[in-house]
């Protein structure tokens, strides 16, 4: 008697179970991050998140842990997306300023989306000392990306940067702010805003 294929079998194999678990975890995380962004961390409970998904609170605990652990995962997801944007930009051909511009666009896009917005709009002071230390260690790496790309652009002459540290802080501040004012129903898309911000900032760095 032949063995039924995975499509025919009513039982999930290990890979299928892992994929289903990941999809459920992602659904919970997405519901949670949107509530954190809309209502604020303190005004959101895991009961709210569970009700939004039509599941019980223990289901949320099972997949993600307590409320602080859920928030930390949301913030770490945002940082991971920023890291991915940096990796794409770093591989961009052209000048250092070309790579910086690519990162500015990617960074702005992430910060106006769900998980990046959570990083900006939720202060890490709500985390426990242990979780805060984990978050800040990862955040420092992200903060260093601007300096790396600015230094490359200054070195190859595609940008004029007198003070890399100051420029990095100024750029980060400009790109973090849209996470607070951008609205999905606004006149411009996330990509349009990101492109315009990048163009504005890059023009200020071109050698004169």
In this structure, the number of other CB atoms found within 10 A of the CB of residue 56 comes to 12
Domains with residue ranges and CATH for the chain: 12-65 (1.10.10.60), 66-203 (1.10.357.10)
In this structure, the number of other CB atoms found within 10 A of the CB of residue 208 comes to 3
d(CA 107, CA 116): 9
- Is residue 9 very low, low, confident or very high in pLDDT (cuts 50, 70, 90)? low
d(CA 97, CA 144): 16
Q: Residue 63: its pLDDT value, please?
A: 86
**Where do we find the tokens 């978050």?**
135
d(CA 75, CA 95): 31
d(CA 31, CA 48): 9
Predicted confidence (pLDDT) per residue in 160-193, tens digit:
999 999 999 999 999 999 988 888 887 889 999 9
Ramachandran region, residue 172 (left: φ > 0; alpha: ψ -120 to 50; beta: rest): alpha
- Is residue 20 very low, low, confident or very high in pLDDT (cuts 50, 70, 90)? confident
d(CA 94, CA 73): 35
**Where do we find the tokens 């050698």?**
207
Residue 4: C-alpha distances to residues 10, 11, 12, 17, 95 (Å)? 9, 10, 12, 17, 55
Residue 142 has pLDDT above 90, yes or no: yes
72 contacts 134 by C-beta, under 8 angstroms: yes
Give the predicted TM-score (pTM) of the model: 0.86
Mean pLDDT of the chain: 90
Sequence-distant (≥ 6) Cβ neighbours of residue 122 within 8 angstroms: 36, 37, 40, 41, 71, 74, 75
Residue 84 has pLDDT above 80, yes or no: yes
Can you list the positions of beta strands (E) in the chain?
Answer: none
């Amino acid at each position: 008697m032949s063995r039924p294929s995975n499509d025919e079998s009513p039982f999930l194999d290990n890979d299928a179970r892992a994929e289903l678990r990941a999809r459920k975890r992602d659904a919970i995380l997405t519901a949670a991050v949107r509530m954190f962004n809309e209502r604020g961390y303190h005004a959101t409970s895991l009961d709210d998140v569970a009700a939004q998904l039509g599941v019980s609170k223990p289901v949320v605990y099972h997949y993600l842990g307590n409320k602080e652990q859920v928030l930390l995962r949301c913030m770490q997801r945002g940082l991971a997306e920023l890291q991915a944007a940096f990796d794409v930009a770093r591989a961009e051909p052209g000048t250092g300023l070309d790579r910086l511009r690519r990162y500015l666009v990617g960074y702005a896009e992430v910060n106006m989306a769900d998980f990046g917005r959570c990083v900006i709009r939720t202060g890490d002071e709500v985390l426990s000392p242990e979780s805060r230390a984990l978050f800040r260690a990862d955040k420092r790496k992200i903060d260093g990306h601007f300096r790396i790309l600015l230094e490359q652009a200054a070195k190859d002459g595609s940008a004029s940067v007198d003070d890399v540290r100051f420029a990095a802080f100024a750029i980060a501040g400009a790109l973090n702010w849209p996470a607070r004012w951008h609205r999905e129903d606004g006149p411009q898309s996330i990509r349009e805003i990101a492109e315009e911000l990048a163009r504005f900032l890059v023009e200020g760095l071109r050698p004169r």
